[in-house]
Structure 1
Amino acid sequence: MLVMVALGSWLLAPTNSSGTRAIGLWLVGAGLNYAPLAWYAIRLMRPGALDAELADVDTDRELRRYTVLQLWVFVPLSLVVFDTLIRRRSRTTAS
């Protein structure tokens, strides 16, 4: 995550080329997608958290579903947006 954001920022800084700028923006956006993934991974490392999350889940069906959904990692900032929407939805249902 940090390497992608750093490389993208480095490519953005000195360039006037639109191609290099596009690659830099993509690297920064795709790198930022890993922030929510890292947050969830850290959250699930607590003892029993993963077992509680997977209770009553059809893992075969979910594995097939997430095999396709993982391609969203390549769309810059998509996972950041999805995470924000999920957090907002959970706050409104909890209230």
Structure 2
Amino acid sequence: MNVRRLAAIDMHGSRGTIRRRRIILAEFLVGVVLMVTWGGWLVASANGFGTRAIGLWLVGAGLNYAPLSLYALALMRPGALDAELAGADIDGELRRYTVLQLWVFVPLSLVAFAVRDTLARRRAG
């Protein structure tokens, strides 16, 4: 699972319009802010274990949008998205990453994948 590639494919979609890039960037940014805020509020104000657990899940899933947001911001630079997807089979990757994006619902999974990839890049070069 490559989180940067997920962000790039999601931003490009089937046509690669600037409008889609902006919408996806907004989705990622709003996702992290709203989910973490709402989850934090639930954790702080919950009386029962179930509500607190939902709050913790919201915080963890919301934090998955943080690396997506950072990559999306980097890919908004002129030419960055095109360079990331140069030579890619967009349709094939769209099908693949449509399924893989379900990892966003597993708390902190995309954070862990992004950290793993960052550490691997640092070791390699």
TM-score (norm 2): 0.72
Q: Which residue is 1:78 aligned to?
A: 109
Rounded to whole Å, the distance in 1 between the matches of 2:46 and 2:72 is 35
Aligned match of 1:55 in 62, 80, 86?
86
State how many pairs are aligned.
94
Q: Which residue is 1:69 aligned to?
A: 100
**Are positions 1:37 and 2:68 aligned together?**
yes
Rounded to whole Å, the distance in 2 between the matches of 1:51 and 1:14 is 45
Q: CA deviation at 1:92?
A: 0.7
Is there any run of 5+ residues in structure 1 with no aligned partner, and where?
none
1:64 aligned counterpart, secondary structure: helix
Is there any run of 5+ residues in structure 2 with no aligned partner, and where?
1-31
RMSD: 0.9
Which residue type is aligned with residue 115 of structure 2?
Answer: T
Q: Which residue is 2:124 aligned to?
A: 93
Rounded to whole Å, the distance in 1 between the matches of 2:46 and 2:82 is 48
Which residue type is aligned with residue 77 of structure 1?
Answer: L
Q: Segments of 4+ in structure 1 off by > 6 A? A: none
Identity %: 67
Aligned match of 2:57 in 1, 20, 26?
26
Q: Which has the larger radius of gyration?
A: 1
